A and B are shown apart, each in its own frame.
Chain A
Amino acid sequence: MARKLLLTHIDVPGINTFEVYRQKGGYRAVEKALKTLTPDEVVEEVKKSGLRGRGGAGFPTGMKWSFLAKPEGVPRYLVCNADESEPGTFKDRYLMTHIPHALIEGMIIASYALGANTSYIYVRGEMMPQVRILERAIAEAKNAGFLGKNILGRGYDLELYVQPGGGAYICGEETALLESLEGKRGNPRIKPPFPAVSGLYNCPTVVNNVESIAATVPIINEGAEEYAKIGIERSTGTKLISASGNLNKPGVYEIELGLPVEEFIYSDEYCGGIANGKRLKAVVAGGSSVPILPANLILKTLKGESRLMTYESLADGGFQSGTMMGSGGFIAFDEDQCVVRNTWNFTRFYHHESCGQCSPCREGTGWMEKVLHRIEFGHGSFSDIDLLVDVSKKIEGNTICPLGDAAAWPVASAIRHFRDEFEWHITSGQEAQRRNYGLAHYADPLEPVAS
């Protein structure tokens, strides 16, 4: 059995209550941090652990913390990004529902490390049950003296607030989240300045994902060295993966980074293979915005090495033949799924969620959606495929926030790897309404590349 750090006690009845969580060793990390470590030592510990942001970009968390500006007389804020809305990702909701105290404990440690006396958890608007769960957990922690004034008699004060959002995907972008938290329209800000210098109410702010914050608990408990032993190279520790799609056992899994993708899909400990005895056609490895890969490329890299669940291995081959770890939303497609329809569906999502602030994304996402709709319903032409590639290139990198990139990548990668299927939709428009393209050659072993 692989090691579990976040979901160790997930099966213990009542782990969502303070008493049970405390019995199982909860809030030990807060005691250790506040009593034996200085804030800088906590930052150093997180840095040494090699923890990388679990929200999608994979930026080292300790590094982010050390960039926080610390001017005199200005409050600093920690904001937890619980606006999890990427299609295919549901790990944060799972964590908050079942072990809310892991997040609260992490928030206390991280706030202490950053010197924040007021911290916020910004929860997506659709997750009202989770908002109530967190509010109850905060009240319990406050009763036990882990929140409020003079925590554990160490002279450190912390107030924790839960703020439900309005249910916009764009509010998961950190600066849009801050705008929304301030009560404004959730439009991403133009950077620089970065939140570490001027964030919430123009004060230095760190925005971290739920899982990143929760991961500080085992780091403090076990020590950074111990945490860094798990994983490979620059991908350390464990990661929650939300597995969905045509799998025998979809769900949230905690994996040690470095697990081979093949093992994750087929072993009984994890997803248990493809449902109904079908064959794997494609995988979106990190939530809807990362490039989609055909079965042969997700299992093995172009160099013929087996692909591992690490930031580096998944990105091996760049955009030509690789993908990204993203937020860990692992979506598997079996041979009966239509990549064109799926791409259209993703694009429809980005079209709906674009904030409309900058022109390439506002206009381009809608345009791509309309073209994809036309192809999917059998009215496309060959020039549409090149048009899609060109529009996605015009969006990528030219927008204020990464939503433009997130909208462009799935389209560009689907055409790059599944061009045959797109062309088949155009040449056999009527037939494409009745049946799907099938597996075709997408799982065939790759030709070894001469280096």
Chain B
Amino acid sequence: MAEDVKFKVSIDGIPVEVAPGTTILNAARLIGGDIVPPAMCYYSKLQGSGGKCRTCLVKVSKGSEKDPRPMPKLVASCRTTVMDGMEVQNITSPEVIEARKGVVEMLLINHPLDCPICDQAGECHLQDLGYEHGLANTRYEFERRTFDKIDIGDKVQLHMTRCILCYRCVFVADQLTPRRVHGVLGRGDAAEISTYIEKAIDNEFSGNVIDVCPVGALTDKTFRFKNRVWFTKPVEAHRDCPTCSGKVTLWYKGEEVLRVTARKDEYGEVEEFICNTCRFETKSTSDWVIEGPRNVKRTSVISLNHYAELNPPAVVKKNLALQETNKEQFERAKELL
């Protein structure tokens, strides 16, 4: 097959041409916007990931040009490759919306919803997913499953209660480190990520499990409870690192670097994995060459605190009574300036 062969695919009626072997999800990402299915377990940098969380389910209403029959079931778009002439429905299919709502509900029934005390809050994919696709209330009236917190190594903490079993960290352990030290134990809803005999993770790249974790199950112990992410300011920086690319995001609060993470793209996937020295050991400005502030999407909660002044909605400005109720907030805003 010639290399320049392109498959014509349409997603929610928007045509796109992609190389054979591309998955539906990646084809949708080429189009961008709100027709991109959400993905909680798929991670383009990790081989074999995806297919597990079922949030990216889409309907294939036309299989291909040769075989136009629709696929009988909804398919996981992250693991289904496109065919020439394929027609995919994502947000235009009520069936998909309904199934996705179901998946979000399932993911949340055993999640502790402890966002107010969770370090991931503000950059949590499950929060975003629940906000965009979930219901406002829950129909689950039983006790949620809980686990004890476990330290894996001296820098990473595992809080299994929040885990959605996406297996991303297992793939990191498998693919970035030479010796796999953790995996999944147990079965069904008793399954847990574990290091078996609580073996410490001491590999140079083990810290990346924190970055790939879509929820607050794996957190950075050097950052735990230091600050909310939306009070910190992300700054791009790099350093000459012998083990990794050294390209990172520094999260500042005032003069202090609170934490270091890899740079993440718009789908929350890291651009390049970084080593533990960059992540945990080098936390002063003098270690880094600053490139400039990181672009944060306007819709992200992280950007919310970064406006120079408080900009209340017009209705507040016009109404004296509302100004009175917001008095405290106005005063706080003044202090910040």
Contact = CB atoms under 8 A, between A and B. Distances in A.
B74 A398 contact: yes
A387 B164 CA distance: 23
Contacts of B73: 397-398
Interface stretch (B182-190, B273-281, B304-312, B326-334): B182-190
Interface stretch (B46-54, B262-270, B316-324): B46-54
A353 B103 contact: no
B153 interface: no
A387 B103 contact: no
Contact of A352 (B54, B103, B106, B188): B188
Interface string B72-92: 011010010000000000000
A357 B165 contact: yes
Given A360-B102, A397-B74, A398-B57, A354 B107 contact: no
Interface of B is mostly: loop
Interface of A is mostly: helix
Contacts of A185: 183-184
B191 A358 contact: no
- Between A357, A360, A363, A400, the greatest number of chain B beta carbons within 10 A of the residue's beta carbon is seen for A363
Contacts of B55: 359
A356 B51 contact: no
A351 interface: yes
Contact of B51 (A190, A354, A395): A190
B99 interface: yes
B102 A398 contact: yes
Contacts of B102: 360, 391, 393-395, 398
B183 A356 contact: no
Nearest to A170: B187
B147 interface: no
Given A397-B74, A400-B52, A168 B187 contact: yes
Interface string A350-370: 011111111110111111001
A399 interface: yes
A364 B106 CA distance: 6
Interface in A357-411: 357-360, 362-367, 370, 387, 391, 393-395, 397-400
A397 B186 CA distance: 24
B179 interface: no
Given A357-B52, A387-B139, A398-B57, A351 B188 contact: yes
Given A185-B184, A362-B165, A387-B139, A356 B103 contact: no
B164 A359 contact: yes
Nearest to A169: B187
Contacts, number: 91
Nearest to A186: B187
Contacts of B57: 398
A397 B95 CA distance: 12
Interface in A393-433: 393-395, 397-400
A235 B71 CA distance: 26
Contacts of A357: 52, 165, 167
A126 to B, nearest CB: 16
A367 B140 contact: yes
A366 B183 contact: no
Contact of B54 (A353, A360, A367, A370): A360
Contacts of B52: 357-359, 400
Interface in A277-330: none
Interface string B129-171: 0000000000110100000000000000000000011010000
B54 A362 contact: no
B187 A354 contact: yes
B119 interface: no
Nearest to B81: A192
B109 interface: yes
A364 B104 CA distance: 11
A355 B188 contact: yes
A114 to B, nearest CB: 27
20 contacts: A168-B187, A190-B50, A351-B189, A354-B189, A356-B184, A356-B187, A356-B190, A357-B167, A358-B53, A359-B103, A359-B106, A362-B165, A362-B189, A363-B106, A363-B109, A365-B188, A367-B142, A398-B74, A398-B102, A398-B103
Q: Report the 7 A-B pairs with minimum CB-CB distance, sorted nearest first.
A: A394-B102, A356-B191, A354-B188, A190-B51, A363-B106, A356-B188, A366-B189
Given A354-B188, A360-B54, 14 more contacts: A190-B50, A356-B187, A358-B54, A359-B52, A359-B103, A359-B164, A359-B165, A362-B106, A363-B106, A367-B109, A394-B103, A395-B102, A398-B74, A398-B102
Interface of A: 168, 170, 185, 190, 351-360, 362-367, 370, 387, 391, 393-395, 397-400
